[in-house]
Structure 1
Amino acid sequence: MNIISRTVWILSIVSLLTDVASEMLYPIMPLYLKNIGFSVILIGTLEGFAEAIAGLSKGYFGKLSDLKGKRVPFVQFGYLLSAISKPIMGILPYPTWVFLSRTLDRFGKGLRTGARDALLSDEANQETKGTVFGFHRAMDTFGAVLGPTFALVYLHFYPENYAFLFLFAGIPGLLAFFVSGFLKEKTKPVRNVEGNVSILSYFTYWKDAPSKYKRLITGLLIFGIANSSDLFLLLLLKTKGAQDSFVIGIYIFYNLVYALFSFPIGLMADRVGLIRTLLIGLFLFCSVYAGMAFAENSIQFYLLFFLYGLYAAATEGVAKALISNIVPESDTATAIGTFAGLGSISALFASYLGGIIWFYMGAQSMFFFSAILTFGVIVYFARYGNALSLQKS
């Protein structure tokens, strides 16, 4: 059996190109925002708001994709929006336009994510979900290695000249849109629905969702409150005296670990169990955030970011594989989108709360809070995780 199909390859290459564009900007984002006058609270608010837009739109368009029985148009247009959003921030470095750019980028992500993950799910069975999602995450994250590497080389020659990177990021973004044109639509049944689908109507899915889905999502949403934006990790390095090159370099290292381990951890998850793998990932997150409260030198930071890469490889793709195994195939995009919509509330609260705790109580308190809350989620899944079998309810 050819587990990695043509569709999986195309989606993975598209994600790789998109991440080249996005991730060459991500590690410099807190540096750029502080450079144009954003406070740590405003940075947290921006990221929380952007993720809220992404999450709410994921739910809406995920449901719409299921109802219309189409995936590819949502994927293609979503990547196009993200591509054209990048140059805006470099051309117009003002708070209103920065918010607009991040909102457009996250809206594009919301438009495509549910449909894209449903396409991936359709290319796998219950025994290969971890492998397929793990391979996609590996390719996606390899782009997150190439992008910051380019940024690091560029800033070596042109220190603090950030604007050009935002303009250049539009090129790989548009290439991703072009490659997405090779996707072929699979015929899906169209549901008979009266009226229009509202932006919040997908929340009704929670009422009828399988109990296993509700139990899984409850734990993931609580974890979402602990998991504030990664920008805070990079900002912590900067506040401890790290140079721009070190901040970008360690972010590249983290993504390299994430990329290299996503596929083998996905294979492992199909063998040892998705829930067990998720628990390992959460334990790694807890350890990293507790450790960041005390880390002071480069060796400690590299060790923690290595573990952080393993955490990411063991959770994101695995969580989606779990969701797609629990719900009926016809509801895959809606189920993932609903999780994203609810998760957007957690993301908004997490980033805003993280900024508030940091501002008033210090960075150490913020990282301790995340570690303690995540430990509670580990206890929750350790107790109830066995109920989340791979069989659909």
Structure 2
Amino acid sequence: MQLQNKFAQKIPRTVWVLGFVSLLTDISSEMIHSILPLFLVSVLGANVLTVGLIEGVAEATASVLKVFSGVLSDYLGHRKGLAMLGYGLSTFVKPLFAIATSPTGVLIARFGDRLGKGIRVAPRDALVADFTSPEIRGAAYGLRQSLDTIGAFLGPLAAFTLMAASGNNFRLVFWLALIPGFLAVALLTVGVREAKTSRTQESRRNPLQWQALHSLGQRYWILVVVALLFNLGNSSDAFLLLRAEQTGISAPLVPLTLVVMNIAYSLSAYPLGILSDRLGKFGLLLGGLLLYALVYLGFAFVQAPWQVWGLFALYGLHLGMSQGLLLALVANIIPANLRGTAFGFLNLAVGLALLPASLLAGGLWQTMGATATFIAGSLFALAAVLLLLTQRHKYLKDINIK
């Protein structure tokens, strides 16, 4: 506890503010997203294919825009403005969910929401790096991830509580989701300033030029390939939920498995971030990817509901060991004036992998069964681990990227 308090005092105020902005935004977004499929099907009469199309278009949009917003934040040397634009757009389109009378209306709202996410993510992640030194970046990114994840499970809980209290009034929940969204934008506006390190003459150069992309370095591009390879086996959480139900967990309890996962994630990300600053990020990141491989192997052969609950908790621990640490490791090996660009390409690689990953998982499930789906995911994770291990010397030669 004393060690954690010591690091908490070092983390800049801006990082704490960005963490609470993420928390409030996730409460707002998840209040809507957790019940949106039910709204589409039961109220607007959409079919499952339409639900999948809306989600696919929305997520693809966010993935592509993360690159351009990151590049723009490097070129202009202004990250806060883009972050405000992204968070603001995601908030101000939320009334469109409440007034939607057709799936097309929901698609427009969902597109605007993910457009906002695509604009804000890379500049926000770069802001965390701008305000922190390499010695505390693991803790800083872990803290932001922990706060973000708290919002990810408070949002659905708030939605289902309000649904029960209002007699399944979807539109009322959508309207009330505006409140934490507005609070997030207000907090970002008054609580975050632009980092001086963002305003340099170098940042006026085009970050998409070959010279700039080459200067990101081999170690960075190896991490991008590792993220792409790993996420080819990281299919939608929907398959985890289907496996939980298939194993014997009753339908009303299935969503609670994600709550367990997010609690484990939120409780582990910050302490493990602190630990990474003391012991090294590379080893913990490897451990997180290896844990994922073992968890997916567990899902392949799981036989009892109690095992499912344990696997979801371990899955959350994997997220705590990998998500923030990957960002911190990237931040420590790239030039300061290209942070937005680097985070943008990293997020693009992850986003591009998600669609084929889910298609592969669905195809294997349909033709060979659930066991094949999870074995394949485990094998992709092991391939990512092996690639990182072969390049281990590149990441341990500099003490600043421990």
Q: TM-score, normalised by structure 1?
A: 0.88
Runs of 4+ in 1 over 6 A off after TM superposition: none
Distance across 2 between alignment mates of 1:338 and 1:15:
21
Given candidates 27, 39, 58, the residue that maps to 1:50 is: 58
Instruction: Give the CA deviation at 1:17.
Output: 0.2
Q: Deviations over 1:347-381 (max 9, x none)?
A: 23223333444444444332222112112112222
Mapping of 1:269-308 within 5 angstroms? 269-308=276-315
SS at match of 1:184: coil
- Pair 1:350 & 2:357 matched: yes
Mapping of 1:50-89 within 5 angstroms? 50-89=58-97
Distance across 2 between alignment mates of 1:164 and 1:355:
34
**Are the aligned partners of 1:45 and 1:352 in contact in 2 as well (CA < 8 Å)?**
no
Given candidates 170, 173, 179, the residue that maps to 2:178 is: 170
SS at match of 1:388: helix
Given candidates 143, 158, 174, the residue that maps to 1:150 is: 158
**Are the aligned partners of 1:223 and 1:374 in contact in 2 as well (CA < 8 Å)?**
yes
Instruction: Give the CA deviation at 1:230.
Output: 2.1
**Are the aligned partners of 1:130 and 1:267 in contact in 2 as well (CA < 8 Å)?**
yes
- Distance change in 2, residues 1:279/1:329 (3 Å): same
Instruction: Give the CA deviation at 1:6.
Output: 1.5
Given candidates 156, 180, 189, the residue that maps to 2:200 is: 189
Instruction: Give the CA deviation at 1:269.
Output: 1.2
Distance across 2 between alignment mates of 1:98 and 1:364:
35
The range that moved more, 364-373 or 235-244, is 235-244
Which amino acid in 1 is paired with 2:200?
P
Equivalent position of 1:253 in the other structure: 260
Given candidates 114, 129, 141, the residue that maps to 1:121 is: 129
Which amino acid in 2 is paired with 1:257?
A
Distance across 1 between alignment mates of 2:102 and 2:135:
49
Distance across 2 between alignment mates of 1:220 and 1:318:
12
**Are the aligned partners of 1:326 and 1:391 in contact in 2 as well (CA < 8 Å)?**
no
Q: Deviations over 1:22-79 (max 9, x none)?
A: 233444455555654443x665554443332112111101110011110111111111
Distance across 1 between alignment mates of 2:325 and 2:203:
32
- Pair 1:267 & 2:274 matched: yes
Instruction: Give the CA deviation at 1:90.
Output: 4.7
Given candidates 308, 314, 320, the residue that maps to 2:327 is: 320
User: Comparing both structures, which one devotes a greater share of its residues to helix?
Assistant: 2
- Distance change in 2, residues 1:301/1:289 (3 Å): same
Instruction: Give the CA deviation at 1:305.
Output: 0.9
Q: Percent identity?
A: 35
Mapping of 1:217-232 within 5 angstroms? 217-232=224-239
**Are the aligned partners of 1:291 and 1:304 in contact in 2 as well (CA < 8 Å)?**
yes
SS at match of 1:341: helix
Q: Deviations over 1:333-352 (max 9, x none)?
A: 11111111232211232233
The range that moved more, 343-352 or 268-277, is 343-352
Q: Deviations over 1:94-151 (max 9, x none)?
A: 4433333332222111111111111111221111110111111111111123212213
Given candidates 349, 355, 380, the residue that maps to 2:387 is: 380
The range that moved more, 343-352 or 108-117, is 343-352
Distance across 2 between alignment mates of 1:96 and 1:362:
34
Q: Deviations over 1:216-262 (max 9, x none)?
A: 11111111111122233234435666555413322222111111111
Distance across 2 between alignment mates of 1:304 and 1:145:
18
Distance across 2 between alignment mates of 1:254 and 1:131:
20
Instruction: Give the CA deviation at 1:85.
Output: 3.5
Q: How many residues align?
A: 388
Equivalent position of 1:233 in the other structure: 240
Distance across 2 between alignment mates of 1:212 and 1:143:
33
Distance across 2 between alignment mates of 1:297 and 1:98:
38
**Are the aligned partners of 1:206 and 1:214 in contact in 2 as well (CA < 8 Å)?**
no
Distance across 2 between alignment mates of 1:111 and 1:131:
24
Distance across 2 between alignment mates of 1:31 and 1:357:
26
Distance across 2 between alignment mates of 1:159 and 1:141:
28
Equivalent position of 2:3 in the other structure: none
**Are the aligned partners of 2:145 and 2:324 in contact in 1 as well (CA < 8 Å)?**
yes
Structure 2 residue runs without a partner (length 5+)? 1-6
- Distance change in 2, residues 1:302/1:111 (3 Å): same
- Pair 1:97 & 2:97 matched: no
- Distance change in 2, residues 1:53/1:335 (3 Å): same
**Are the aligned partners of 2:203 and 2:338 in contact in 1 as well (CA < 8 Å)?**
no
- Distance change in 2, residues 1:317/1:73 (3 Å): same
Instruction: Give the CA deviation at 1:158.
Output: 5.8
The range that moved more, 149-158 or 110-119, is 149-158
**Are the aligned partners of 1:90 and 1:167 in contact in 2 as well (CA < 8 Å)?**
yes
Of the two structures, which has the highest relative contact order with CA contacts closer than 8 Å and spacing of 6 or more?
Answer: 1
**Are the aligned partners of 1:149 and 1:249 in contact in 2 as well (CA < 8 Å)?**
no
**Are the aligned partners of 1:52 and 1:347 in contact in 2 as well (CA < 8 Å)?**
no
**Are the aligned partners of 1:44 and 1:355 in contact in 2 as well (CA < 8 Å)?**
no
Distance across 1 between alignment mates of 2:35 and 2:302:
21
SS at match of 1:70: coil
